Chains A and B, each alone.
Chain A
Amino acid sequence: MRSKLTLIIASFVACGTWIGAAALEASVGQVVGLRRLTQNEYRNSIADILGKDISVQGTFEPGIRIGGLTAASTAVLSITPAGFESYSKMADTIAAQATNEENRKRLVSCQPKSAKAPDDACAAQFLGHYGLQLFRRPLTAEELRSRVSLARTMAKSSSDFYAGLRYGLATLLQSPEFLFRKEIAVPEGKGYALEPYSRAARLSYLMWDSTPDAELLKAAQTGELITAAGLEKQVDRLMASPRLEVGMRAFFADMLMLSTFDNVSKDGLFYPKWAGPMGGSAAEETLRTTIALALHENGDMRDLMVTRKTQINRMLASIYGVPFSFKGEWAPYEFGPETGRSGLVTQISLLAMFSHPGRSSPTRRGVALNEILLCEPTPTPPNNVDFSEVNDTNGPRKTVRERLMAHANDKTCASCHNAVDPLGLSLEGFDTIGGRRERENGEMIDVSATLAGKSFSGAEGLGKFLYSSPKYPACVARKLYSYANGLNSEEVEPAAFKDGQESFQKSGYRLRALIKGLVTSPGFFIATAEHIKTVSP
């Protein structure tokens, strides 16, 4: 039995070129990246490989924001027992669905000799096929052998060939080779560079937020992806697909910290309009606006800072004070110049996420915008800060501005607050849920600000300030590069994303040019010396 199985596997294996796995087996490869799939990456991968109808139900361990991006935490987090328990259950229910009577017609391409008995050849074909897609590389002979063997045992004991497939598939779905993306580097020239399957996965998860498709895997298998022309061909193909939207939504959701809404509560007594799904709607508005401008219109990314065009639904319309008389759930809308709305920074999302439950916070808004849009994180304040001036609304200082100024006059506080507060103060015309207001505690709100020697007023002024700041496009390039590679954006050297940034600038700040410039840069797949050094023999 054993020798027969080996033969079957050998004949299956002979069809593939074994670059990734072979590199590792031959001990020349080094794992230079180990990225835990995000929830979205997992879900998208399952949908692409097994079909959109497969339901994925379970909890995923949360990521952590590092250097402004949760993507960076995928390179440092592991899987805890509770996390694995959940993955294991999901693997079982997914595998059960994929092999049930309804789906097996679509997903199992070979016909077993009998539906009630083991069939190693058909099992090997099925498990090898989905193994390649799930592991993003061909299985090793041993990986396939142990699974075919399990399938045989299970098929025999239950007199059901498909039960064997189910449990074999379940092992693939909870393997670390699926749950983590291994990036493997092999010697190239004087250093190390990613082998083709790792390149395929890096490109695909960046651009589509999902696993490489058959054509990309083929390009990895044939080695086409290592050539400049082959790479460009695939990059152009990935970028031409509507799925680029999925990938870029995931990036912007991370960069704009939209998951902050998971833990934002608003005070229903003051703000009854803020109900359950409002956070999700606000995040969706921002993503729709961003994708429309960056991809559908192929626009100048700086315009995101000043545009009055948006897309709203009924819930958001109530906060914006816009009568919602449109057909459909979402509708494009353009604010008038008199509304004071200008750019992403005046959308409900960014205004509401960085405020208190019942009160706006220029400092929180300022800190967030500096980090998100300008890549300038603010150090934590000293431990012993006297805030009493800021909070005393009964005193002579009626507005937040007056109260903030009181402690920003202190030298230690001022060093940060002077860089942070002006951004937020210019947005004081919007309350904690992003509604428009002109007065606070009876006083007219002053929305003037001075930052880096430039004076401006209100959100419109802030938008123009951000539009013309060279730090903003540089920050987008830095974040996209860090996102693609799972790095702490604060620790990335500008040289690493220089090519992308230049092509971004030359194109008039088109997102596609930035992506292409980054991923076709000669350094994009080079493994850094520090990675190689830390690898144990």
Chain B
Amino acid sequence: MKLDRRFLLRGMFQGSAATMMVPFLDCFLDSKGQALAATGQKLPTRFNTFFFGCGLTKSLWVPKTAGKDYEMTVQLKPLEAYRNKLNVFSGLRIPFDDNPNYQHWSGVAAAATGISPTKQGQFDSKTIDQQVADVISRGARYKSVAAAASGNAKESYSSLGGLNTLPPETTPLSLYTRLFGPGFQDPSSPNWKPDPSIMVQQSVLSVVAEDRKRAMMHLGAADQARMDQYFTSVREVETQMATQLQRPELTAKVEIPGAPESDLVVNNALPNIRKNVPLMSRLGALALATDQTRVFNLSISEPGSQIFIPGDSLGYHQSTHEEPIDPILGYQPRVAQYNVHSMELFAMMLKELDGVQEGDGTLLDHSLVFAYTDQSFAKIHAVDGLPILVAGLASGRMKGGYHIAGDNSTVSRVGLTAMKAMGVGVDSWGANSMETKSPFTELLA
């Protein structure tokens, strides 16, 4: 099938052809939909995170029964299509140890690191996506990629620890350019050949790296760590270049669209975020399918979500604090609506992952998606019972369809389970009261 790229992009970036979305990806697959099986290569298992601010409403999202076959709840309903590839975790504890409950932060850090944070806005270790990337990303062009659907350059929860937050791409165009702009070679192209300019850049980097010894001299401990991070980053880009000289083993039969001519509006207004999330998710899925990266992080908001629905003068975060609990319903109705939007946006990401056929299943089957938030009950900054959802079957290493109901476990058990499913050889995860050696074995195949 021949596609007019300009037409495609008009559909992709101006949202004028929502109905194109399904055929859009199909066109990129070969006629049999066997994207990768032909090569006989083993597909890597990919890792994704999805961050949404301000949690969900307990009475509306937690299923009544544990295990499989739970009755679908109002707030999980948008995810129904994926329930067999989804596990939901409720009632897990987040002990603070001796640290304060940092508003809109302690929950984020506990879920992503298994460690109660000692500082507002900082993680006390690498976040789970980076811990996984350290193990699974060798051979991919980028160790990980992050995107922020609201366009906020500070909205990334992918971190090397401390202040070393990995910056996100903030528009569909910038994400496109990073993944498929200059320097990208379609692995399935018959004309694929190593780019000689990369070898030149390698020589340049080796001169930069030679200065390391001198650059590290006479620094205080904190500055030494910062300088060390700089040279670690240089090494990572060197590895990235070395990878680019090898033709990727995968030859996904997805076709990469040309560069968009204009960008979308990115801000906190929900309608804009609803346009950005499918695009960013699709670009992420294409990147995973072509092994540009094996770790993709998408956030739809910051903790304490600044998302607002036009006409709502308060917006999401302020509503969680100021909207009264409806005495009859027993919850905050507007907040509950925002909660559902978060799950709809999550479903949009899953749709893109599940829409890419590869091998004997879909990209989602060969992935894990760790979805988490900052609060269990945002109104009072509560974190116990933090909603966590893990989608994807991790190439058969994860079972799906379960509701794990809290039994006084710590939230870190989810992280450990995800690490195990990703094949990361760790026996324990988290620290202090959240250190755990017990994954949810019932989920691991």
Q: Which residues of A contact B (CB under 8 A)?
A: 24, 27, 29-32, 34, 59, 61-62, 64, 73, 76-85, 88, 92, 140, 142-143, 146-147, 150, 153-154, 167, 170-171, 174-177, 179-180, 184, 262-263, 265, 267-270, 276, 356-359, 380, 383-385, 387-388, 390-392, 531, 534-536
Contacts and interface: CB of A to CB of B under 8 A. Distances in A.
Contact of B160 (A80, A84, A174): A80
22 contacts: A61-B167, A78-B227, A79-B233, A80-B166, A85-B237, A143-B211, A146-B210, A153-B203, A154-B203, A176-B215, A176-B231, A177-B211, A180-B230, A262-B152, A263-B151, A263-B268, A265-B306, A267-B308, A358-B313, A383-B380, A384-B381, A385-B380
Interface stretch (B218-226, B280-288, B431-439): B218-226
A209 B313 CA distance: 39
A78 B163 CA distance: 8
A153 B181 CA distance: 29
A400 to B, nearest CB: 11
Nearest to A79: B230
A531 B121 CA distance: 25
A534 B221 contact: yes
Interface in B269-315: 269, 306, 308, 310-315
A34 B223 contact: yes
B318 interface: yes
A64 B381 contact: no
Nearest to A537: B218
List the 6 closest pairs (A to B, CB-CB), nearest first. A358-B313, A391-B322, A84-B233, A78-B226, A78-B229, A534-B220
Contacts of A59: 153, 167, 174
Nearest to A387: B322
A24 B215 contact: no
The interface centre, meaning the residue of A81, A359, A391, A536 with most chain B CB atoms within 10 A of its CB, is A81
Interface of B: 101, 103, 121, 143, 146, 150-154, 160, 163-167, 174, 200-201, 203-205, 207-208, 210-211, 214-215, 217-227, 229-234, 236-237, 240, 265, 267-269, 306, 308, 310-315, 318, 321-325, 380-382
A167 B203 contact: yes
A182 to B, nearest CB: 9
A84 B101 CA distance: 34
B269 A265 contact: yes
Contacts of B233: 78-81, 83-85
Given A177-B211, A383-B380, A267 B226 contact: no
Contact of A34 (B160, B219, B382): B219
Contacts of B323: 388, 391
B381 A176 contact: no
Nearest to B383: A383
Given A24-B217, A80-B165, A534-B220, A358 B324 contact: no
A357 B318 CA distance: 10
Contact of B152 (A85, A142, A263): A263
B207 to A, nearest CB: 5
* Max count, chain B CB within 10 A of own CB: residue among A64, A82, A171: A82
B343 to A, nearest CB: 22
A81 B174 CA distance: 17
A143 B227 CA distance: 17
Contacts of B321: 385, 387
Nearest to B239: A81
B204 A81 contact: no
A29 B220 CA distance: 12
Nearest to A171: B207
B204 A356 contact: no
B143 A384 contact: no
A175 B208 contact: yes
A84 B234 contact: yes
A171 B308 contact: no
A171 B208 contact: yes
Given A88-B201, A150-B203, A80 B268 contact: no
A24 B218 contact: yes
B230 A267 contact: no
Nearest to B234: A84
Contacts of A536: 218-221, 224
B276 to A, nearest CB: 13
A32 B220 contact: yes
Nearest to B235: A81
Contacts of B217: 24, 27, 31
Nearest to B233: A84
Contacts of B322: 387-388, 390-391
Given A146-B207, A270-B313, A82 B167 contact: yes
Given A391-B324, A531-B220, A80 B229 contact: yes
A153 B233 CA distance: 25
A531 B240 CA distance: 36
A391 B381 CA distance: 18
Given A146-B207, A179-B230, 6 more contacts: A64-B121, A76-B222, A81-B236, A83-B167, A142-B214, A356-B315
Contacts of B200: 154, 167
Contacts of A170: 204
Given A34-B219, A384-B381, A357 B226 contact: no
A262 B222 contact: no
A254 B269 CA distance: 26
B219 A31 contact: yes
Contact of B214 (A140, A171, A269): A140
B339 to A, nearest CB: 18
Contacts of B237: 81, 84-85, 88
Contact of B318 (A81, A92, A356, A388): A356
A143 B312 CA distance: 59
Nearest to B225: A78
**Of listed B143, B237, B315, residue having the most chain A CB within 10 A:** B237
A202 B187 CA distance: 48
B268 A265 contact: yes
A534 B222 CA distance: 8
Nearest to B315: A357
A62 B210 contact: no
A269 B203 contact: no
A77 B167 CA distance: 12
Contacts of A175: 208, 211, 215
A267 B313 contact: yes
A169 to B, nearest CB: 10
